[in-house]
Amino acid sequence: MITLDSVSKTYKVGTFGGKELHAVSNVSFDVQNGEVVSLIGESGSGKSTIGKMILRLISITSGKILFNGKDIASLKNHALKEYYRQVQGVFQDPFSSYNPIFKADRVFSIIHDEFYPDISSQDWKQKIEKSLTVVGLNPDIVLNKFPHQLSGGQLQRFLIARALLLNIQFLVADEIISMLDASTRIDVLNLLADLKSRGLSILFITHDLSLSYYISERAIILYRGCVVEMGATEKIFYQSLHPYTKMLMASVPRLDMKWRKRVEQQIDRSTQPGGCVYFDRCTAAEKSEHCAKHNPPLVQVDVDHYVACFGYKKED
């Protein structure tokens, strides 16, 4: 389905663009048909940048992104339009996806005019109603409403319904439930799980570990633009090998123990040497000058389990 091959994104920053910010560095992974893959990391780790590169909202500095074997950077005109017919994204803030002066269902009119101009108004209305029903919305209640008249959860479902109208194969879901209340979150997660059972592939971008565990078969841990660990979700959560992944898992609050805040040094990625991106925060005993000078490659340590760490310890 979607394959990222050594993808990087670099920005020019500083006075007159004299410095480089490596937002994404040499990232490789794939998402197979009917699979949900979670992309996990803290703010600024490059998660959304990867999603935007897949959607061709921003360009790739180096590497390739392939969709069914075709380099998406080479797509133009009709081929690019066909790509967007199959690949769509839904983002964190649903309100920013709508123009407040137009009714929310205008997003369906745009899809009709751009992709299905030959479908009659009556047939298109039936398709819209069916799509809204699939995402758990009552067409009689939500249609012909302005964005401010609908809740965030309803607007997110509108966007998912828009994607379903295109019969998409791949969805970039970028923090799509972080702004929703708890009761709505589980509804949207269950909706994604249902769509996945129908064959939809999903890249689920999140910083919430519990949501990732609930929804995905595989998980990718991203830190400062680099993949530090990836594999089957169960292995990432219960057999964590990278110090950063272990720290993330230990940071999940538990009811049976008092939570203690960790104070860790925050550093500017743009000034880092060529060593391990996690070096300055690493507490592993194996932390050494070698780690400071060399960035560890992502290596396979088990079936569907990869880690980028010179000093990882695999428990028997």
Q: How many CA atoms lie within 13 A of 33 on its CB side?
A: 4
* DSSP H or E run through 62: strand 62-67
Residue range 237-257: mean pLDDT, rounded: 79
Count H helices and E strands in the chain, helices first: 11, 12
Residue 283 makes CB contacts below 8 A (sequence gap 6+) with 243
163, 171 contact by CB (below 8 A): yes
pLDDT > 70: what percent of the chain? 88
Domain end (from 216, 234, 259): 216
pLDDT at residue number 263: 45
Specify if 128 maps to a domain.
yes
Residues 203 and 254 in one domain: no
Specify if 131 maps to a domain.
yes
pLDDT at residue number 72: 93
pLDDT at residue number 270: 41
CATH code of the domain in which 40 resides: 3.40.50.300
The pair of three-digit structure tokens given for residue 202, joined into one six-digit string: 């999903």
Specify if 228 maps to a domain.
no
291, 273 contact by CB (below 8 A): no
Given a cut of 50, is residue 316 above it in pLDDT? Answer: no
Q: Across the chain, what does the average pLDDT equal?
A: 83
Distance (Å, rounded) from C-alpha 203 to C-alpha 208?
Answer: 14
Report the C-alpha dihedral over residues 117, 119, 122, 125, rounded to 10 degrees.
-70
Residues 211 and 250 in one domain: no
Residue range 17-36: mean pLDDT, rounded: 87
Given a cut of 60, is residue 22 above it in pLDDT? Answer: yes
Residue range(s) defining the domain that contains residue 46: 2-216
Judged by phi (left if over 0) then psi (alpha if -120 to 50, else beta), residue 167 lies in left
Distance (Å, rounded) from C-alpha 76 to C-alpha 99?
Answer: 27
Domains of the chain: total: 2
Specify if 222 maps to a domain.
no
pLDDT at residue number 30: 94
245, 237 contact by CB (below 8 A): no
Specify if 147 maps to a domain.
yes
Q: What is the pLDDT of residues 184-243, one digit of tens each?
A: 677 777 778 887 887 889 999 988 888 888 888 999 999 999 999 999 999 999 999 998
pLDDT at residue number 269: 39
pLDDT at residue number 170: 93
- 268: pLDDT confidence band, cut at 50, 70 and 90? very low
Distance (Å, rounded) from C-alpha 63 to C-alpha 49?
Answer: 14
Specify if 135 maps to a domain.
yes
64, 147 contact by CB (below 8 A): no
Given a cut of 50, is residue 62 above it in pLDDT? Answer: yes
**Secondary structure letter of residue 156 according to DSSP:** H
The pair of three-digit structure tokens given for residue 221, joined into one six-digit string: 């841990």
243, 262 contact by CB (below 8 A): no
Which amino acid is located at 187 in the chain?
D
Given a cut of 60, is residue 271 above it in pLDDT? Answer: no
More confident call, 57 vs 192: 57
Residues 44 and 122 in one domain: yes
Residues 23 and 162 in one domain: yes
Judged by phi (left if over 0) then psi (alpha if -120 to 50, else beta), residue 77 lies in left
Which amino acid is located at 123 in the chain?
D
Distance (Å, rounded) from C-alpha 56 to C-alpha 76?
Answer: 11
Residue range 51-72: mean pLDDT, rounded: 93
pLDDT at residue number 289: 73
What is the residue whose two structure tokens read 């123990």? 257
pLDDT at residue number 27: 93
Q: For the chain, report the end-to-end CA distance as a whole number of angstroms.
A: 34
